[in-house]
Amino acid sequence: MSARPLALLGGTFDPVHNGHLRAAWEAAEQLDAEVCLLPANVPPHRPQPVLDPAQRVELLELALAGQQRLRLDTRELRRAGPSYTVDTLRELRAEVGDARPLLLLLGVDAFAGLPSWNRWLHLFELAHIAVLDRPGHSRDYAAALRGQIAARRCAADADWRSQGAGRVLFLDILELDISATAIRAQLAAGREPRYLLPDAVLAQIRRRGWYAPAAAG
């Protein structure tokens, strides 16, 4: 019997929303995995977050309150410099040993960008990759990525658990067209993005005045 898989959903979580939470929850159920949300410090591939790490963690803690299945792992926030996933996975692999399956959860948009990540091919030596459906994003992958998919693809209910790393799984999850960008835009326009993120998270954002419309000059 192999150990229970550990799956990681990295991201900026600026702010965390129901698209992240539902995807992480479905991955936990489908893979029978422990799932960690892993906020990034200085994401190398994208513009800097609006909220600082402590603020994003405050919202993540509110979002995860009251359940045990999804956890928060703040290790990337404690490390100086850019958050390279390959370094995080190396650290985790050393902690859990070679046999326990590790999975990197990626929305299709993040997965499509994988070939631009630092030492991306090395990721397959450290973890499986599980791709999460997300509406409105192209599944038009670069040739190098298509080659990896062809060699590594595995059904979610097939026997990937006996290996610690190296397979690519596509998870069939409920597609929620929710993004942090759209939530920030609604808040900046003075609107209320209710039901796109947990009530407690929205209430805290409003209390703190985060992402608020710029004060009129």
**Closer CB to ligand ATP, 97 or 136, in the complex:** 136
In the chain, the DSSP E strands lie at: 6-11, 34-39, 70-72, 102-107, 128-132, 168-171
Chain centre to alpha carbon of residue 168: 16
Sole window of 67-75, 91-99, 154-162, 175-183 interacting with ligand ATP (rule: CB under 6 A):
175-183
The CA-CA-CA angle for residues 89, 92, 95, to 5°, reads: 155
Listed in sequence order, the residues at least 6 apart from 104 whose beta carbon sits closer than 8 Å to its beta carbon are 7, 8, 10, 85, 89, 123, 127, 128, 129, 130
Q: Does 53 help bind ligand ATP (rule: CB under 6 A)?
A: no
User: Who contacts 155 (Cβ-Cβ below 8 Å, separation ≥6)?
Assistant: 169
Q: How many residues does the chain have?
A: 217
> Minimal CA–CA distance to 51: which of 212, 214, 215, 197?
212
Residue of the chain from 53, 107, 193, 198 that contacts ligand ATP (CB under 6 A): 107
Q: Going residue by residue from 127 to 166, which x/- string records binding to ligand ATP, judged by CB under 6 A?
A: -----x-x--------------------------------
Closest by CA to 88, choosing from 154, 170, 6, is 6
User: Smallest gap, in angstroms, from Cβ of residue 165 to ligand ATP?
Assistant: 18
User: Least distance to ligand ATP from the beta carbon of 103, Å?
Assistant: 12
Task: Check residue 176 for interaction with ligand ATP (CB under 6 A).
Answer: yes
Whether the link from the prior residue into 39 is cis, omega within 30° of 0, is no
Q: Which stretch binds ligand ATP (CB under 6 A): 139-147, 157-165, 179-187, 201-209?
A: 179-187
Q: How far apart are CA 214 and CA 217, in angstroms?
A: 9
CA proximity to 180, closest of 206, 200, 202, 209: 202
Selected from 109, 113, 149, 152, the binder of ligand ATP by CB under 6 A is 109
Q: Interface with ligand ATP includes 181 (CB under 6 A)?
A: yes
Q: Which parts of 11-30 interact with ligand ATP (CB under 6 A)?
A: 11-14, 19-20, 23
**Choices 53-61, 67-75, 105-113, 151-159; region in contact with ligand ATP by CB under 6 A:** 105-113
Choice between 41 and 179, CB closer to ligand ATP: 179
Binding region for ligand ATP (CB under 6 A): 9, 11-14, 19-20, 23, 106-107, 109-110, 132, 134, 176, 178-181
